Amino acid sequence: GAVVSQHPSRVICKSGTSVKIECRSLDFQATTMFWYRQFPKQSLMLMATSNEGSKATYEQGVEKDKFLINHASLTLSTLTVTSAHPEDSSFYICSARDHGTGSYEQYFGPGTRLTVT
């Protein structure tokens, strides 16, 4: 089945620094990738939709200048959390859709746990 990887799986950074998270589709091309965040014991909240070769579409309330998304190729999307603060600590999960299947199933990466100290 389709596999999506994320790197790093866990990161601790100091307040004010920036962190880049990579999301890769390993065995399929992903025109569209999605970025979610999940707080402990809560549901997944869509942050933005990443489209290859174009600007990401951000959900209401998500700051585009703080959460920079780049989808430069059909297999890689990156999320950069700029000037991170403790309230940005969360579980960030990406997903990708294989448009070749015709299904709307999303394949999720293993997630990145960000802790900002």
Q: How is the beta sheet containing 76-81 ordered, strand by strand?
A: 4-7, 19-25, 76-81, 67-73
Letters for 3-22 (x = contact with another protein by CB under 8 A, - = none) are: --------------------
**Does residue 35 bind another protein (CB under 8 A)?**
no
Contact segment (CB under 8 A) with another protein among 12-20, 70-78, 79-87, 105-113 equals: 105-113
5, 31, 49, 80: residue in contact with another protein (rule CB under 8 A): 49
**Does residue 54 bind another protein (CB under 8 A)?**
no
**Does residue 107 bind another protein (CB under 8 A)?**
yes
Nearest to 112 by CA among 78, 83, 72: 78
CA 4 from chain centre, in angstroms, equals: 11
The residue assigned the tokens 């920079």 is: 68
Contact between 85 and 104 (Cβ < 8 Å) = no
Interface contacts to another protein, rule CB under 8 A: 32, 34, 36, 41-46, 49, 57, 60, 93, 95, 97, 103-111
